[in-house]
Amino acid sequence: MTRAGTLGLGDSRSPRSATVLELLFDIVYVFALARLAGRVADDLTIVRHTLLSEAGQTLLFFTAMWMIWSLNALLASTYDPRRPDLQAVLLASMFGTLVLAVSLPQAFGERGVIFACTYVAIQVGRPLYLVLALRGHPSQGFALRVLAWHTVSGVFWISGGISGGLGRGVLWSLGLAIELIGGHINWATPRLGRASLASTVNVSQVHLAERYNQFFMIALAEVVLEAGAAVSFPGFSTDRTITLVASFVAVVSFWRIYFYHVGPGRHATASAAGEGIQLSRWASYSLLLIVGGIICTAVGFGQVIEDLHPPIDWALVAIIFGGPVLFLIGRSTLEQENRNAPRCRALYFGAATLLVAAPVTVLLPPVAVTAVAAVILGGITVYDQRAHKRGSETNPTL
């Protein structure tokens, strides 16, 4: 490995648009999100006294998979992903993510060691490569700090994979918490300081925003897949058609609110390094809520289509209404902070409306519950559109 001055990694620039390889990487996440949606669906069909623990496991997996994707997106938005060495890193992460997705159903069973070792290999291998490739470059210190945090968290992940049982969940949760805390405090490390990445490299805000948009569209496709697959085998009926239409309304509402809630192009106009880092910090957690909400919505609507007369209780209502609430909260926090202008409250009002309506729908048939959720989402979309008075822009960016 040569020095960064010769290798050129520290001086490379990410392109404004996502590369074909990054889109290929996202294909694995189509499968991964389907696996996660399957776990959520299973959580709804098990004995209620274990529902919270099962949901906690699913949340842990979802956050861990999101950590891999978001850090890879940041890597490709910092350095040129067209470089052969970075392509090798992305391909290795892609294969590792595929292994994680395959191991997901039995990760708390016999495949725990495989899941933990693969996850650690991805999270430690990425910064380790950067430490070696950036020797002599100012940004090597940042890579060293990230490597230190992931090495510590990796101990908990591997220990959890070996231990099994309740200890596995506790140790994995601690490992994931270490990574989240590290990112929140800018990977501050004793003797290595806490200088921000923005002071040493340029992060392409335009490229990163495009990657977030693409992942959102992949998640949105999960609603279509769940609803479409559920209708395909038994065929159409009045109730299934109503729920399918409700699913379509939800998809359109999510798309419209996500892209049109804030004026087109507001976040993608600047390309300064500091603003790219700022986007990666606040948008990453917002997208976590947005995608999580979409998955919950997909599972809730899919469950009703598969079984038109399930036992309607708090769990199913919570997943059908909770998904849109998570989405709206995530999209609201995705707004770029501007101290000179107040935040738009339309989506917060919409989330409050869903929360108020949810308890009442426990008394309704399942198909009616999905219809009510879709009607409220459609109303929020119309209200948000009128509140912002959109122009004729048809292909806005984040």
Average confidence (pLDDT) over 134-147 = 86
Provide, rounded to the nearest whole percent, the portion of the chain with pLDDT above 70.
81
Domain residue ranges of the chain, discontinuous segments joined by +? 4-199, 205-388
pLDDT at residue 336 is higher than 80: no
Contact yes or no for 28/34 (Cβ under 8 A)? no
C-beta separation of 76 from 207 below 8 A = yes
Q: How much of the chain exceeds pLDDT 90, in percent?
A: 43
Between residues 191 and 364, which one has the greater pLDDT?
364
Tell me the pTM: 0.85
Distance, CA of 237 to CA of 234 (rounded, Å): 9
pLDDT at 255 over 80: yes
Residue 55 burial by CB count (10 A; 0-12/13-18/19+): exposed, middle or buried? middle
Q: State the pLDDT at residue 6.
A: 39
Residue 268's pLDDT band, with cuts at 50, 70 and 90, is very low
Phi/psi at 135 (5° precision): -60, 125
> Residue for token digits 């926090």?
333
Compare 276 and 97 and report the one with higher pLDDT. Answer: 97
Q: Which two tokens stand for residue 349?
A: 């009002």
Over range 111-125, report the average pLDDT: 95
Q: pLDDT, tens digit, for every residue of 39-74?
A: 888 777 664 455 556 788 889 999 999 999 999 999
Q: Which residues pair with 189 in a beta bridge?
A: 193
d(CA 117, CA 162): 10
Candidate from 87-101, 147-161, 175-189, 256-270 with smallest mean pLDDT: 256-270
Other beta carbons less than 10 A from residue 109's beta carbon: 11
pLDDT in tens, 341-374: 456 678 889 999 999 999 998 888 889 999 999 9
